[in-house]
Amino acid sequence: MAKYIFVTGGVVSSLGKGISAASLGKLLETRGLKVTLIKCDPYLNVDAGTMNPYQHGEVYVTDDGAETDLDLGHYERFTHAKLTNANNITTGKIYYSVITKERKGDYLGKCVQIIPHITDEIKDSIKRVAHQQNVDVVIVEIGGTVGDIESLPFLEAIRQLKLELGRDYAINIHVTLVPYIRAAGEIKTKPTQHSVGTLREIGIMPDIIICRTEKELNKESREKIALFCNVDKEAVIPALDVKSIYEVPQMLHEEGLDRLAVRLLNLKCEEKELTEWNTAVVKVVRSPSKEVPIAVVGKYIAHQDAYKSIYEALSHGGIANDARLIIKKVDSEDIEKHGVVKYLGDVKGVLVPGGFGHRGIEGKIAAIQYSREKKIPFFGICLGMQTAVIEFARNVCALTKANSTEFDKATKFPVISLLEEQKKIKDMGASMRLGLYECAIAKGSKAYQAYRKEKIQERHRHRYEFNNKFKEAFQKAGMVFSGTYPKGELAEIVELRDHPWFVGCQFHPEFKSKPDNAHPLFREFINAAVCAKYGC
């Protein structure tokens, strides 16, 4: 039977609960345990797919095409857990299921209530994952901050679950903030005490408290938290700010987190060091031998989390090439206002990520034209590939005002357009081309050089496609179609022959990249950028 670790957060949001959960997953996996992770999100959206990245950060996509919270990205980057739609439980999904059952009459005349019907549905959804994925440990992260109205049913459900499972089968970890008050020159434990107090009011006693701090947690503060929050001293785990998130597993290990969790859950496994991870990832992150400036040209640049997996995958490409990346975040609308040279004049690689809607498109196209003409390594992802196609149509094939029908329905040259089946769709939720699709790679291409395989599978999230009516003309003009979806002849990867590295892909490779195993396209893109700076 699986054992459960429930992770809650207190004091403020953005404490890195997801990174803490993912790091613990990594530590337990290193000890030979099979883990999975679940994120519970208290909002009413059924999934993150209908939310603007400004609201919620990036929408992460799993193999099975679920549009999820970005914490699932951390889970997959840190561990080998294979996550599915079931690993992201939202209030929307829970209510949808309960109301559907109620309409069918499944509750046999009962009054349907938050307790027990909603809480039972949450418990069943959690247990189902543990059962289906056949794991030793399930780490369940509850989104939001303790004290929020929205997360109460989730907290009540995990309270009941722990009670039902009994000793040795479930523990609670609470992640809090221990702020440093500069004027007083002190760190303060009171917010943590209050937050644990709120948790206790709803019947949950934490077994471990992870304290995020910017200053060392001294012995006195540690003892104070232990005393007032009713935990052992060794269960107060300091988590100091670190430069890279990939240093967190080692830090938590040194503070004894995995040893304690394993003991409390009575798990049978050996104590293990994170040697491989530390050598392959942390060492390179700390002292790489090279440094390259890379521009990311998008429209959600101002939001830290909107391109989360893109930034992570870029850093993995850096790790694979022993290089630190200086990421220049460029708002494509600024390029429209002030020209491209000001922003891209000194970079060695340009990446245009995915996106939706018309705003900022012309700036992206200008960035792509500049990269193509100046032979700067270029990587276009999803909308980034589509805009590369538009740029090529306009400036190489002389198809004036060519566009995607997403931005100009009446364009004379619809080089990107909707597939017939997408035209019929009315509901916006979960209706894009989503999840894993196969792609055949052409030998002799840059894509093949990266993958070294003829068949690959990548994750998708888009509605529009390259319009094959233009394929021949594009090929004649020098565009190579190096990746194709075999069943529908859809263009999945395009590249340019006479350019050091110019690749666009319709899928999202960033979702499958790992710090210790960079995605091949990110690895090669950064390799090209390193070559542009240092020579090859």
User: Is the peptide bond prior to 191 cis by the omega test (within 30 degrees of 0)?
Assistant: no
Q: Rank residues 42 and 360 by Cβ distance to ligand GLN and give the closer one.
A: 360
| Type of residue found at 55 | Q
Asked whether position 406 contacts ligand GLN by CB under 6 A, the answer is yes
Interacting residues with ligand GLN between 237 and 266 (CB under 6 A): none
Residue with the CB atom nearest ligand GLN in the bound state = 354
Q: What is the largest CA-CA distance in the chain?
A: 74
Strands (E) located in 337-472: 349-352, 378-381, 403-404, 414-418, 433-441, 455-462, 464-466
In degrees to the nearest 10, what's the CA dihedral of 380, 385, 386, 387?
40
* Phi, psi (degrees; rounded to nearest 5) at 398: 60, 35
- Residue 392 interacts with ligand GLN (CB under 6 A)? no
Q: Which helix (H) or strand (E) covers residue 518, if one does?
A: none
Contacts (CB under 6 A) with ligand GLN, residues 352-391: 354-356, 382-383
Which of 303, 463, 514, 533 is in the footprint of ligand GLN by CB under 6 A?
Answer: 463
Site track for ligand GLN across 477-516, x = CB under 6 A: ----------------------------------------
Which one, 69 or 406, has the nearer CB to ligand GLN?
406
Q: Choose between 277 and 307: whose C-beta lies nearer to ligand GLN.
A: 307
- Alpha helix (H) residue ranges in 208-274: 219-229, 248-254, 257-264
Q: How far is the CB of 136 from ligand GLN (least distance, A)?
A: 35
- As a three-state string, the secondary structure of 183-201 is CCCEECCHHHHHHHHHHHH
Candidates 63-71, 96-104, 158-166, 462-470; binding stretch for ligand GLN (CB under 6 A): 462-470
Catalytic entry in 174, 253, 508, 519: 508
508 is catalytic: yes
Nearer to ligand GLN, 153 or 354 (CB): 354
Contact between 462 and ligand GLN (CB under 6 A)?
Answer: yes
Helix extents (H) in 471-519? 471-476
Task: CB nearer to ligand GLN: give 43 or 300.
Answer: 300
Helix (H, G, I), strand (E, B) or coil at 355: coil
90: Cβ contacts below 8 Å, ≥ 6 apart:
40, 41, 42, 43, 44, 45, 46, 47, 48
Closest CA to 378 of 340, 420, 414, 404: 340
Quick one: which of 464, 501, 502, 525 contacts ligand GLN (CB under 6 A)?
A: 464
Query: Which regions of 368-488 does DSSP assign to beta strands (E)?
Result: 378-381, 403-404, 414-418, 433-441, 455-462, 464-466, 479-485
The single-letter code of the amino acid at 282 is V
Q: Which is nearer to ligand GLN, 3 or 308 (CB)?
A: 308
- 462 carries an active-site annotation: no
| Shortest CB 355 distance to ligand GLN, Å | 5
The one catalytic residue among 29, 121, 510, 524: 510
Cα(183)–Cα(193) distance, rounded to whole angstroms?
A: 21
The reply to whether 56 sits near ligand GLN by the rule CB under 6 A is no
Q: Which is nearer to ligand GLN, 25 or 384 (CB)?
A: 384
Q: In this structure, how many other beta carbons lie within 10 angstroms of the beta carbon of residue 183?
A: 5
Does 335 bind ligand GLN (CB under 6 A)? Our answer is no
**Site size toward ligand GLN, by CB under 6 A:** 10
- Told to check if 303 binds ligand GLN by CB under 6 A, we report no
- If the CB atoms of residues 138 and 383 are measured against ligand GLN, the closer one turns out to be 383
Could you tell me which stretch among 7-15, 177-185, 203-211, 460-468 binds ligand GLN (CB under 6 A)? 460-468
Q: What is the rounded CA–CA span in Å between residue 140 and residue 264? A: 16
Amino acid at 212: R
Judged by CB, which is closer to ligand GLN: 154, or 511? 511
Name the minimum Å distance from CB 473 to ligand GLN. Answer: 21
Phi first, then psi: give them for residue 286, nearest 5 degrees.
Answer: -75, -40
Dist CA 385 CA 505 (whole Å): 6
Q: Smallest distance from the beta carbon of 61 to ligand GLN, in angstroms?
A: 9
Q: How far is the CB of 309 from ligand GLN (least distance, A)?
A: 12
Stretch binding ligand GLN (CB under 6 A), from 154-162, 324-332, 351-359, 466-474: 351-359
24: left (phi over 0), alpha (psi -120 to 50) or beta: alpha
Residue whose token pair is 């006195």? 220
Q: Does 461 bind ligand GLN (CB under 6 A)?
A: yes
- Active-site residue, 164 included: no
From the list 211, 229, 382, 439, the catalytic residue is: 382
Catalytic center residues: 382, 508, 510
Binding residues (CB under 6 A) for ligand GLN: these are 354-356, 382-383, 406, 461-464
